[in-house]
Amino acid sequence: MTAPLIAVGGAAPVQAQSVGVVQSDILVVDPERLYEETRLGQAITAQLQQEREDLIALNRKLEAELEAEELALTEQRDTTSPEEFRDLADAFDERVQRIRADSQRRVREHERNRERAPLDFMRQVEPVLVELMREAGAAVVMDRRTVLLQADVVDITSAAVQRIDATLGPAAPDEGNADGTEATPETADPAPDPEPETSPAE
């Protein structure tokens, strides 16, 4: 049995002429359309995209820095003792591993935020959907994507988009609450793991 998005037991219908919403016991809504078409959803997507681009830029910067350090280290090979060069190489390797781990952590965090963004969005717009449900005198709002057959139900997606825009506007989500992008499923590449020719001569 398909679980409803929202259900209110014994919801009392209001006067139809005062709400402008078609009266129905069962309503359906398309969450994907809400996320893609509302200004709030678009703001979340834009923020996630910007954060992804920032991650890519940071990783490229780190890559350039590591390549420069690798080159400088390699140039010291002939001017330092094997023991000293080994210490320098080990320190560089540790720095590479630390940077790579931090980069992978940031990418994973971004992906988690991107994946949960639609759910966080639905939590934010739920009061608007409840309001529309009450105005329609409905007892349940179903996810349109999970309804195989439908009769005598009303799709309120378009009305919900307009109401969400009017109620919540284009406000961006709180930082760290919904941070990742639906429009760009590919992930930001983590910082590289260079393998310099820095091992001391045996």
Higher pLDDT, 178 or 100: 100
Residue 110 lies in a domain: yes
Give the domain range for residue 52.
6-10+22-168
What's the pLDDT tens digit per position in 90-116? 999 999 999 999 999 999 999 999 999
Between CA 190 and CA 86 the distance in angstroms is 26
Strand-pair partners of 143: 29
pLDDT reported for residue 67: 94
Contacts of 1 (CB under 8 A, 6+ apart): none
pLDDT tens string 45-103: 999 999 999 999 999 999 999 999 999 999 988 888 989 999 999 999 999 999 999 99
Q: Is 109 contained in some domain?
A: yes
Tokens of 86: 């080994």
The pLDDT-based confidence of 185 (bands split at 50, 70, 90) is: very low
16 falls within a domain:
no
pLDDT value for 110: 96
Output the pLDDT for position 182. 38
Q: What is the pLDDT of residues 138-171, one digit of tens each?
A: 888 888 888 766 665 688 999 999 999 999 876 5
Q: Is the pLDDT of residue 191 over 70?
A: no
Residue 111 lies in a domain: yes
What domain count does the chain have?
Answer: 1
| pLDDT of res. 200 | 39
pLDDT at residue 68 in the model: 95
Whether the per-residue pLDDT at 122 is higher than 50: the answer is yes
Residue 189 falls within a domain, yes or no? no
Whether 1 is in a domain gets the answer no
Closest CA to 195 of 58, 61, 67, 59: 67
- Distance between terminal CA atoms of the chain? 69
Q: Residue 147's pLDDT is what?
A: 77
In a domain, 186, yes or no: no
Distances in Å between the Cα of 41 and the Cα atoms of 5, 116, 124, 125, 151 are 18, 13, 10, 10, 29
In a domain, 71, yes or no: yes
Give pLDDT, residue 117. 96
Q: What is the CATH number of the domain that holds 162?
A: 3.30.910.20
Q: How does pLDDT run across 23-38, given as a tens digit for each residue?
A: 778 899 999 999 999 9
For the cut 70, the answer to whether the pLDDT of residue 180 exceeds it is no
